[in-house]
Amino acid sequence: MDEHEPARPKQKYWGLRTLGFLTVALVSVLVQSHVSSVLPFLGLVVGLTGATYCSYRGLKDFTWLPR
C-alpha cells in the first residue's frame, strides 16, 4: 500500500447482520408456541425490523466499482 493512498474504510458486514436479525426472528417464532407472553412477538418485530434495515443499508452501500 502506497503511503499517499488513503486507507479504505472498514467494510461493514450487512449480510451477516441481516442473518443475525433473521435468526432472532426465527427463534422468536419457534419460542412463541411454548411461551405465552409478549416477548416472542417483540423479538419477531425487532428481528424483522433489524433485518429490513440491514438489507437496505447493504444494498445502499453495495458497489462493484473500486472507490
pLDDT of residue 38: 83
Is residue 8 situated within a structural domain? no
Is residue 9 situated within a structural domain? no
pLDDT of residue 52: 95
Mean pLDDT of 28-46: 88
Is residue 47 situated within a structural domain? yes
Is residue 24 situated within a structural domain? no
Residue-wise pLDDT tens digits, 1-20:
556 666 666 778 889 999 99
Domain that holds residue 48: 35-61
Instruction: Give the CA distances from residue 62 to residues 13, 15, 19, 32, 67, in Å, rounded to whole numbers and listed in that order.
Output: 11, 11, 17, 35, 11
Alpha-carbon distance of 64 to 38, in angstroms, equals 42
Query: Could you give the number of structural domains in the chain?
Result: 1
2 or 32, which is more confident: 32
- Contact at 8 Å (CB) between 61 and 12? yes
Is residue 12 situated within a structural domain? no
pLDDT of residue 5: 66
- Of 27, 58, 56, residue with least CA distance to 44: 27
